[in-house]
């Protein structure tokens, strides 16, 4: 797997922090998040990220990417978390792009150049009501209609679906027992209805109802009718590990912010950071962040190296990261006292984002269960 040298990774990391630290201040964040009638993220920012080459970091060179590995994408996602960027990295660059890359035809993969250029937004619409975190629960059906298909079904809340140009929809081909295919459905297609709502962290998304949506033969990713659940599994795993990388960045920021706050906040005639019980708490936050960083890094490496236990490691990383995120996010608020409870301070927004990262695609309990069920298989 071609990927960057350690020095190049360091440079990437530094340039991310430098540019974002400069431009993506919390004041700017609030402006974007609260802009009336806005989409919940910045189009201008997205374009700029594309120009920096961040969106195409892990995409093939033929489509204008830099053919980096998942470790490089992870570095970007950690920065996304550190600044709680609002732009649709997970939906477009992680989930959407990997579905097209893994399942698409040569021609469909050309769309990735638009992803890299920041011109195409995607949303991955797979989960359905009643499925919970189960990855193989697909009731939506794509019946054949001449050379094309007609899609009917309900998709659960998908992040970024409200603004996506193309929805990537899973559906059973032919009948409710058919193999699961992936379809490109324009958000504006007739028969597509969205119920837009904010998630816990305020970011918009939507549930999607498909009421007899007609699409052409080329809407199906790939040409064969073979079952795509394996691809879906890989796409979700990629979402899992990138949400973990994002959480690691967010945790690092929460820890830094809390250390700074306790150094300046005076009570009982001294800075709160002088109380040993709080020092130990900060140490636990810092060590938790470090634990999560280490196991996420190990999982990214395993994915890049395509080792046999890569999936197991991804799931373990998810368990550990979710547990650490819950602790670090919660303590971020706790140690800020009343200040942590206000919408004006960033710490609460980090808590909310960490809660999302923690539960997206399954929470720690769910992955522990999966790990225990598949222990024999490992």
Partner 1 sequence: MFIRTVEHDTSLDKFRAEVRDFCERELPSVIREKQKRGQHLEKHEYISWLQRLGSRGWNTGKWPKEHGGLGWEPAQFLAFQEELGRAGAPPLMSFGPTMAGPVIYTFGNEAQKRQHLPGIIKGDLWWCQGYSEPGAGSDLAALKTRADRDGDDYIVNGQKIWTSTAHWADWMFALVRTDQTAKKQEGISFILIDMKTPGITVRPIIGITLGHHLNEVFFDNVRVPIANRIGEENKGWTYAKFLLANERVGNVDVAKVEGNIEQIRQLMAETREAGKPLSDDPTFNRRLAELEVGLATVKALMADQLAAARLSGAPSLMGAAALKLRGTELQQGILQTGLDVLGRHGMVYQSDALHAGWNGEMIGPESSADVIYEHLYRRAATIYGGSSEVQKNIIAKGALGL
Ligand X SMILES: Cc1cc2nc3c(=O)[nH]c(=O)nc-3n(C[C@H](O)[C@H](O)[C@H](O)COP(=O)(O)OP(=O)(O)OC[C@H]3O[C@@H](n4cnc5c(N)ncnc54)[C@H](O)[C@@H]3O)c2cc1C
Min dist CB 272 to ligand X, Å, is 5
3-class DSSP assignment, residue 181: strand
| 252: Cα separation from own chain's centroid | 17
Q: For residues 204 and 168, what is the distance between their CA atoms, to the nearest angstrom?
A: 17
Cβ closer to ligand X: 1 or 341? 341
> Rule CB under 6 A: is residue 268 a binding residue for ligand X?
yes
> Rule CB under 6 A: is residue 328 a binding residue for ligand X?
no
> Rule CB under 6 A: is residue 335 a binding residue for ligand X?
yes
Cβ closer to ligand X: 115 or 272? 272
Task: Answer for the pair 278, 262: CB distance below 8 angstroms, yes or no.
Answer: yes
Cβ closer to ligand X: 270 or 372? 270
> Rule CB under 6 A: is residue 272 a binding residue for ligand X?
yes
Task: Answer for the pair 122, 50: CB distance below 8 angstroms, yes or no.
Answer: no
The entry of ligand X, partner 1, none that residue 146 binds, CB within 5 to 8 Å by partner kind: none
Q: What angle do CA 39, 28, 15 make, to 5 degrees?
A: 105
Min dist CB 261 to ligand X, Å, is 8
Q: For residues 175 and 197, what is the distance between their CA atoms, to the nearest angstrom?
A: 31
Beta bridge partners of 206: 158, 196
Min dist CB 288 to partner 1, Å, is 17
Min dist CB 84 to partner 1, Å, is 14
Give the residue closest to ligand X by C-beta.
337
Cβ closer to ligand X: 239 or 348? 348
Question: What b/e readout covers 243-264, taking b as 16+ CB neighbours within 10 angstroms?
Answer: bbbbbbbbbbbbbebbbebbee
The one among 30, 265, 274, 352 contacting ligand X by CB under 6 A: 265
Instruction: Choose among 32, 53, 56, 60: nearest CA to 44.
Output: 32
Task: Answer for the pair 68, 58: CB distance below 8 angstroms, yes or no.
Answer: yes
Q: For residues 181 and 229, what is the distance between their CA atoms, to the nearest angstrom?
A: 8
The entry of partner 1, ligand X, none that residue 29 binds, CB within 5 to 8 Å by partner kind: none
Per CB under 8 A, residues contacting partner 1 are 127, 129-134, 136-137, 156-158, 195, 197-200, 202, 205, 207, 266-269, 275, 277-278, 326, 330, 333-334, 337-338, 340-344, 348-349, 351-352, 355-356, 359-360, 362-363, 365, 369
What is the contact surface with ligand X in residues (CB under 6 A)? 265, 267-268, 272, 275, 277-278, 334-335, 337-338, 341
């Amino acid at each position: 797997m071609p990927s960057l040298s350690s020095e190049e990774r360091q440079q990437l990391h530094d340039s991310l922090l430098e540019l974002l630290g400069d431009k993506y201040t919390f004041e700017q964040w609030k402006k974007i998040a609260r802009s009336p009638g806005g989409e919940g993220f910045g189009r201008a920012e997205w374009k700029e990220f594309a120009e920096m080459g961040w969106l195409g970091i892990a995409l093939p060179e033929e489509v204008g990417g830099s053919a980096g590995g998942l470790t490089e994408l992870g570095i970007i996602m950690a920065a996304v978390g550190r600044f709680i960027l609002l732009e649709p990295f997970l939906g477009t660059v992680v989930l959407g792009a990997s579905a097209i890359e893994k399942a698409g035809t040569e021609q469909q993969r050309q769309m990735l150049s638009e992803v890299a250029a920041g011109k195409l937004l995607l949303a991955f619409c797979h989960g359905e009501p009643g499925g919970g975190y189960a990855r193989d629960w697909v009731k939506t059906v794509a019946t054949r209609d001449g050379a094309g298909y007609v899609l009917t079904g309900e998709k659960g809340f998908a992040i970024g679906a409200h603004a996506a140009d193309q929805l990537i929809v899973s559906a059973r081909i032919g009948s409710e027992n058919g193999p699961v295919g992936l379809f490109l459905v324009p958000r504006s297609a007739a028969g597509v209805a969205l119920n837009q709502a904010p998630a816990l962290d305020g970011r918009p998304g939507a549930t999607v109802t498909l009421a007899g949506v007609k699409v052409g033969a080329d809407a199906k990713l790939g040409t064969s009718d073979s079952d795509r659940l394996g691809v879906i599994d890989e796409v979700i795993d990629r979402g899992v590990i990138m949400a973990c990388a994002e959480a690691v960045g967010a945790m690092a920021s929460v820890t830094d912010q809390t250390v700074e706050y306790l150094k300046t906040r005076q009570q009982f005639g001294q800075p709160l950071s002088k109380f040993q019980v709080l020092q130990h708490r900060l140490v636990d936050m810092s060590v938790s962040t470090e634990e999560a960083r280490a196991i996420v890094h190990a999982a990214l490496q395993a994915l890049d190296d395509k080792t046999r236990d890569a999936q197991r490691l991804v799931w373990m990383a998810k368990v550990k990261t979710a547990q650490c995120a819950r602790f670090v996010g919660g303590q971020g608020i706790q140690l800020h006292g009343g200040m942590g409870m206000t919408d004006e301070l960033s710490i609460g927004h980090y808590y909310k984002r960490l809660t999302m990262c923690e539960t997206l695609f399954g929470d720690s309990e769910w992955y522990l269960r999966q790990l225990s069920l598949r222990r024999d298989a490992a």
